[in-house]
Amino acid sequence: MLNSKMFIYKKTIKEHHLDFMGHVNNAVYLTILEEARWEFLKNQNYTMQDIKDTGIAPIILECNIKFIKELILRQEIIIKSQVTSFDGKIGIMQQNIFNENDVLCSSAKFTFGFFDVKARKLITSDETLKNIIDII
């Protein structure tokens, strides 16, 4: 495992997150996790404007998610995100969702890379990219 910081993002489950059964739909988990990843990048001072300026964008290559315990209306959740590996062009980010009682509700692993939007290809990691994803 890399020496990377854990990023914590808190959120409240709202009505628009629910499906007809009264819990968070599986597709909404992906949206919530993406929101946490964007906040992670913003926390590192890497914004949409930086992506436009540099032409370098983070992209998801693969996703594996486990639904362990349902999320329900007005529940306070905590999303913990951490980069666990980054070698060459490919990184892994682990994201776990916990409820207000610190019970693990979902566990997700995302394979990602940085994409050069002009060359249309993944690029190799360098110190700048490592700083963006907070690898020490």
Over residues 52-95, the pLDDT tens digits come to 999 999 999 999 999 999 999 999 999 999 999 998 899 999 99
DSSP letter at 117 equals T
Residue with tokens 């020490």: 136
Residue 79's closest CA among 43, 113, 129, 46? Answer: 43
- Name the average pLDDT for the chain: 92
Helix residue ranges per DSSP H, the chain = 26-43, 48-54, 127-132
pTM of the model: 0.91
Strand partners, 63: 110
